[in-house]
Amino acid sequence: MAARFFYRARNTRGRIVTGHIEADSRGAAAATLRQRRLFVVELRPAPARTGERARFGIPGRGVGVKALALFCRQFATMSEAGIPLLQCLHILVQQTEHRALRAILKEVVAEVERGTSLSEAFARFRGRIPELMVNMIAAGEVAGTLDQALHRLAVHFEKEHDLREKIKSAMTYPVLVAGVSVVAMIVLLVVIVPVFTDIFNQMGATLPLPTRMLIALSNFVKKAWFALPVLAAALVFGYRALARTPRGREAIDRLVLRLPIAGPLIHKTILARFARTLATLLRSGVPLLQSIQTVERVAGNVLVARELAEVYRTIKEGGRMAGVLGKSRLFPPMTTSMIAIGEESGMLDLLLEKIAAFYEQEVEALVARMSSLIEPLMILGVGAMVGFMALSIYLPLFGMAGAMQAGTVPGAAP
């Protein structure tokens, strides 16, 4: 497991910079800093970050990509205009509406005023601020291209937000229809079905199987309705408990990728995020090994993260990324071929951007197909539910009407 080190170093301009870095050993940390063109003055293990949330008093939830995109866009614009760093941060504190981000920025301003670098100030809030953002700000500070790094971050977060919104918009209609259908079914079972149950009991007729099933379901909902929210809560807590274990998380991620409709969509989304994040990091000057580690943490799938960990080990030993990914079933041949070409030509960041654009278009097309497919499926499902309930109610009525005409129903006039 990677350790965390504190460093003081001089950059190419001779200025002292401080920060933290994660590496497997002190030597690996020093090598990474040399790749960043930093000359180490001090390098020592960093203290644990436990209790940091309580010390800073920051809300524990993460900051959404929409708020981060707006923040990075405004920050980059002011930085390009030549506004000093601290003045930019003070303005952003006043303008930011997101409560958690505003609280973080106040602490960042205080840290920068005490002489801490901007990347190190943001690094204190890992878990609420993406690792991608911390690393790119650090690379921008070292290279003197902070405004460009912020622009790339803004573009990255905007594309991530757009992709999520398209998926959410595609799922809004089915979720709404499913919710309304469940509520309507519960009302029918609790209010309408008991009326017909009393009629059937008074007539003493023999009920067909669909009607008996419907009455049994109605009785269950009326008598044991409290079991439904308990069951839903048990499923949610059970899922969370399973997801906290390594084997459970792996089983869930494997199952998700095998789902008939959602699986391909999630898979392509993961590939798009992988390519976009890695391309953004490399474009900003973050070393390849550090970029791979960052992408591994934001992969969003244990299986993909495991493959990227193997990529990290291979590259560290002098191997190539494409060779490892080519053996994986999670990365299609087209992706690994383009990565191989990028590694050979030295244009890996450019080809990764093309891969990201390709899979983002694939996700958009798949979402559009899902939207056009889900609507008729939902209509068919609702129709089947209503048809079953109507058939269950009217079958005995038709039977009793025929029996009354024949004079065989108890209580019927001769």
Phi, psi of 15 (to 5 degrees): -85, 145
Beta bridge partners of 18: 8
So what's the pLDDT on residue 407? 55
Please report the beta strands in 303-381, taking only residues with DSSP state E, as ranges in sequence order.
none
Question: Does residue 358 surpass a pLDDT of 90?
Answer: yes
So what's the pLDDT on residue 182? 83
Question: Does residue 2 surpass a pLDDT of 80?
Answer: no
Cα 75 to Cα 118: distance, rounded to the nearest angstrom: 12
pLDDT digits (tens, 9 = 90+) for 306-342: 899 899 899 888 888 888 888 888 899 999 999 999 9
Name the more confident of 256 and 19: 256
So what's the pLDDT on residue 400? 65
Mean pLDDT of 256-264: 86
pLDDT digits (tens, 9 = 90+) for 87-144: 999 999 998 888 889 999 999 998 888 888 888 888 888 778 888 888 888 888 877 7
Tokens of 309: 């960990």
**Which residue has 């902070």 as its token pair?**
146
So what's the pLDDT on residue 13? 66
**DSSP letter, residue 135:** H
Cα 169 to Cα 133: distance, rounded to the nearest angstrom: 27
* 61 pLDDT tier (thresholds 50, 70, 90): low
* 75 pLDDT tier (thresholds 50, 70, 90): very high
CATH of domain 156-403: 1.20.81.30
Cα 169 to Cα 171: distance, rounded to the nearest angstrom: 5
Which of 106-115, 240-249, 336-345, 370-379 shows the lowest per-residue confidence on average (mean pLDDT)? 370-379
* 404 pLDDT tier (thresholds 50, 70, 90): low
So what's the pLDDT on residue 338? 92
Cα 172 to Cα 251: distance, rounded to the nearest angstrom: 27
**Which residue has 């700000």 as its token pair?**
137
Task: Give CA separation, 140 vs 46, 76, 214, in Å.
Answer: 23, 11, 65
Name the more confident of 25 and 357: 357
pLDDT more than 70, % of the chain: 90
Cα 301 to Cα 278: distance, rounded to the nearest angstrom: 16
Total Cβ atoms within 10 A of residue 318? 6
So what's the pLDDT on residue 49? 45
- 51-79 burial, b at 16+ Cβ within 10 Å, e below that, comes to eeeeebebeeeebebbbbbbbbbbbbebb
Give start and end residues of each alpha helix (H) in 245-261.
246-257
- 393-409 burial, b at 16+ Cβ within 10 Å, e below that, comes to beebeebbeebeeeeeb
Estimate to the nearest angstrom the gap between the alpha carbon of 225 and the chain centroid: 33
pTM score above 0.95:
no
Tokens of 271: 């590939």
User: Measured over all CA atoms, what is the biggest interatomic distance in the chain, rounded to whole angstroms?
Assistant: 111
The helix (run of H) or strand (run of E) holding residue 206 is: none
Total Cβ atoms within 10 A of residue 227? 12
Question: Does residue 355 surpass a pLDDT of 90?
Answer: yes
Cα 25 to Cα 399: distance, rounded to the nearest angstrom: 82
Q: What is the Rg, in whole angstroms, of the alpha carbon atoms belonging to the chain?
A: 30
Question: Does residue 54 surpass a pLDDT of 50?
Answer: no
Mean pLDDT of 221-242: 84
* 60 pLDDT tier (thresholds 50, 70, 90): very low
* 174 pLDDT tier (thresholds 50, 70, 90): confident
Total Cβ atoms within 10 A of residue 105? 23
Tokens of 174: 């089915």
* 53 pLDDT tier (thresholds 50, 70, 90): very low
So what's the pLDDT on residue 72? 92
Give the strand pairing for 3-10 and 16-23.
antiparallel
State the average pLDDT for the chain.
82
Mean pLDDT of 246-266: 87
CATH number, domain 1-49, options 2.40.480, 3.10.20, 3.30.70, 3.40.50: 3.10.20
Question: Does residue 184 surpass a pLDDT of 90?
Answer: no
- 91-103 burial, b at 16+ Cβ within 10 Å, e below that, comes to ebbeebebebbbb
Question: Does residue 179 surpass a pLDDT of 50?
Answer: yes
pLDDT digits (tens, 9 = 90+) for 267-292: 998 999 899 889 988 888 888 888 88
Determine whether 337 is exposed, middle or buried from the number of CB atoms within 10 Å of its CB (0-12, 13-18, 19+).
Answer: middle
3-state secondary structure of 41: strand
Mean pLDDT of 191-213: 81
So what's the pLDDT on residue 337? 92
Domain ranges of the chain: 1-49, 63-129, 156-403
- 341-354 burial, b at 16+ Cβ within 10 Å, e below that, comes to ebbeeeebbebbbe
